[in-house]
A and B are shown apart, each in its own frame.
Chain A
């Protein structure tokens, strides 16, 4: 049985359908990637799974519980078992690295400060930032901030973790570090990971299963190898990053020659 089960998901922003009957299964212990072009609602999907947004139709079950039927308290109890890594890191800017990672422990447990210290140092050691514990978030690079956020996301030892565009805007070294960390943590902590991304190479490297989304629907799904061999032109364009194809390079409109020969001159 999948850990996250999404059925017939419909979600709209105004008249625009972000999701139009999406079905997704996230299996326990696996890294599942949700990919697609910008604006396809990948981040929205994570917010729907986390219960921050409500679907207009359909259901989302996490660990057998319908997320949107839970009471406020039940939802917060479920969230304690779900980690989320935001694209920006979402670190609390007035707290040090150490205090950021300790934050969920101090809020949710009555552990003594000495034990909190040990737990935080273990998590920071995992992401390689134990010695950066006294830095403020403003002193961190983008990659370091995400690693701190990752340490914070796993502080309560969640059953699953959601990554929102973890590789965007990273230099090759930071990207390699994050790819490695996500893969290693998923195995070592027996996590279930959902990675939302449009960085094809990095995501395909660690994902066990990929869903490709476009225009509110799942266009293709399967293992990275299966997707790379897909006969769909759209999938090939996305996976290989081709500039032209089913998703055109030119914004739709009148032909170039017609435009040049047109007598209309803008004022």
Chain B
């Protein structure tokens, strides 16, 4: 019994200590952001590896998610004779929920894990220590550009996901199931609100981008510098990011759409 309480206490202390380290790490990297606007080339390099290299995955996933939404939505709506509202259903589902959430989950799996592995390996091969000894702050020089790149990439990827998803829904709805294309687009335009739906979706994806990139970079920076340690850190990035995305999605949805 005492042993259980003791290990619970140790687990609690370790968790809070890690949380504290994570927040100090975040503060430190945020101080490095302003300087990046004078050396934006560092961010552009990372935008390529974090953002551009994720585009293909986002395109394919978005297309299929949209197509499935088109199929499932049509089957439900047709029972009520409301199949012309398919465009609204697909667009709102994607812009409000699936776009930000699924693209963030994919981003965590593709870019987040890569960031953790990269930083973890840089740590284990003493590249970060080497920079410190060259009087170059690795958090500002290496971590901050990656963080900013993640922050910029995530909303753009979510927007691409939603756009391609809507197109996928249209392909299935109009091309396969014969929904009128005029009704599909016009109802979507009328019922989708720029601020309530699109802007809130963008805010969600920005929050997810912030959290996922922070988790990924911290896990890499805090990894035990062995191959096993880096492997574990990479796994933790994906798991913790998934929890954070889904948990925060609930909170944000309640705040944004809870009073409708």
Report A's interface with B, CB cutoff 8 A.
Answer: 47, 50, 52, 76-77, 79-80, 82-84, 86-88, 90-93, 103-104, 107-108, 149, 152, 156
Contacts and interface: CB of A to CB of B under 8 A. Distances in A.
Contact of B125 (A76, A88, A104, A156): A88
5 contacts: A47-B129, A76-B137, A79-B134, A93-B122, A107-B136
B31 to A, nearest CB: 11
B127 A77 contact: no
A145 to B, nearest CB: 11
Contact of A52 (B129, B134, B137, B141): B129
B126 interface: yes
B133 interface: yes
A171 to B, nearest CB: 21
Q: Tell me the interface secondary structure of chain A in the complex.
A: mixed
Contacts of B135: 76-77, 79-80, 104, 108
Interface residues of B, number: 13
Given A93-B125, A107-B141, A52 B132 contact: yes
Contacts of A92: 127, 130
Contacts of A76: 135, 137
Contacts of A82: 133
A88 B126 contact: yes
A90 B132 contact: no
Contact of A86 (B122, B129, B136, B137): B129
Contacts of B129: 47, 52, 86, 90
Contacts of B133: 50, 52, 79, 82-84, 86
Contacts of B126: 86-88, 90
Interface string B115-133: 0000000100111011011
A106 to B, nearest CB: 10
Interface in B130-161: 130, 132-137, 141
A91 to B, nearest CB: 7
